[in-house]
Amino acid sequence: MRTLSMNHFKDARNQVLHQIQVACEQAQRDPATVQLLAVSKTHPDSALREMYQLGQRAFGENYLQEALDKIEALDDLDIEWHFIGHVQRNKTKLLAEKFDWVHGVDRLIIAERLSSQRLQTQPPLNLCIQVNIDHQDSKDGCQPEDVAQLVEEISQLPQVRLRGIMVIPAPDQITAFTDAKQLFEQVKSHHQQPQDWDTLSMGMSGDLQQAIAAGASIVRIGTALFGARDYAKP
Ligand SMILES: *Cc1c(COP(=O)(O)O)cnc(C)c1O
């Protein structure tokens, strides 16, 4: 499938907003407590510009160089940029300087580098700890039992603001969202500044309803907004 046209984008975005609203009604939640993050990896600048014109402000990207090109090309827009890809230790400087949020922090060293590389003139960088909530066979994400210690340490860093947890469970892991919510609440109950711990980033195009039911505060939606991704032709 090719990138969809403006009218398609409008319909797609309205449909996703409607899905969020229905999921919130079912869960007896206020729709204002769920932020739609438009995941735009592989899609061209023009697609982001069109989504922006429809009112979308927060965009998520996975690949650093691709994201940097878009950030430069869309410099005239007031976009909130989220990095949702895997964070490599030697790429933290550009993440620290160019993004508003980094979701995939899973080690202290990454947070330390982001904090020291964030410019003094910028507001603190928002972070989420990526947790391997369903014990996937993957290097990404810390273990649930390591979260409390990481929160304590990252919370001391001056130029970052630790906001919560990000998870990417496998599609068949039906308890993963409620497990993530439980972990989130457990951390909040011990947090020194519980008002700063406000973000649960989970849910994609295929499972946003379940994620919202469990308490997601950011849903990361790509395919349902932009159409299928063509990795051969970014
Ligand atoms: C690509 C991606 C998404 C969006 O997935 P869709 O199924 O296209 O909605 C969300 N989160 C992360 C971390 C991703 O890499």
Residues 205-210 have a mean pLDDT of 96
pLDDT band at 3 (very low <50, low <70, confident <90, very high): low
- pLDDT tens-digit series, residues 124-161: 999 999 999 999 988 799 999 999 999 999 999 999 99
> Which of 42, 84, 230 to probe ligand 1 with, by most ligand atoms within 8 A of CB?
84
Say what percent of the chain tops pLDDT 70.
97
Question: Tokens 């039911």 belong to which residue?
Answer: 213
- 202: exposed, middle or buried (Cβ count in 10 Å: 0-12, 13-18, 19+): buried
Which atom of ligand 1 is nearest to 229's Cα?
8
Residue closest via CA to ligand 1's atom 13 equals 84
Q: Show the tokens assigned to 217.
A: 């505060």
Rounded alpha-carbon distances, angstroms, from residue 68 to 65, 71, 75: 5, 5, 10
Which has the closest alpha carbon to 176: 133, 209, 216, 217?
133
| Gap between the Cα atoms of 135 and 144, Å rounded | 9
Residue 60 bridge partners (DSSP): 39, 82
Residues 84-111 have a mean pLDDT of 97
222 CA → ligand 1 middle, Å: 6
| Gap between the Cα atoms of 147 and 187, Å rounded | 8
- pLDDT tens-digit series, residues 19-71: 999 999 999 999 999 999 999 999 999 999 999 999 999 999 999 999 999 99
- 68: exposed, middle or buried (Cβ count in 10 Å: 0-12, 13-18, 19+): middle
Question: Tokens 């993050």 belong to which residue?
Answer: 37
Cβ–ligand 1 contact at 221 (below 6 Å): yes
Residue closest via CA to ligand 1's atom 11 equals 220
- pLDDT tens-digit series, residues 159-199: 999 999 999 999 888 899 999 999 999 999 999 999 999 99
CATH tag for 6-226 (out of 1.10.10.410, 3.20.20.10, 3.80.10.10, 3.40.718.10): 3.20.20.10
Q: Show the tokens assigned to 191.
A: 């947090």
Cβ–ligand 1 contact at 62 (below 6 Å): yes
pTM: 0.96
| Gap between the Cα atoms of 114 and 127, Å rounded | 9
Res 4: pLDDT? 56
Terminal C-alpha separation, the chain: 13
Res 82: pLDDT? 98
Res 233: pLDDT? 58
Which has the closest alpha carbon to 56: 20, 25, 28?
20
Q: What is the mean pLDDT of the chain?
A: 95
Q: Show the tokens assigned to 72.
A: 């430069």
Question: Tokens 């990896």 belong to which residue?
Answer: 41
Cβ 201 vs Cβ 164: under 8 Å = yes
For the chain, the helix, strand and coil percentages under 3-state DSSP, each to the nearest 5: 45, 15, 40
| Gap between the Cα atoms of 91 and 62, Å rounded | 13
Q: Which amino acid is at 219?
A: V
SS3 156: coil
For the chain, the domains span 6-226
Res 1: pLDDT? 46
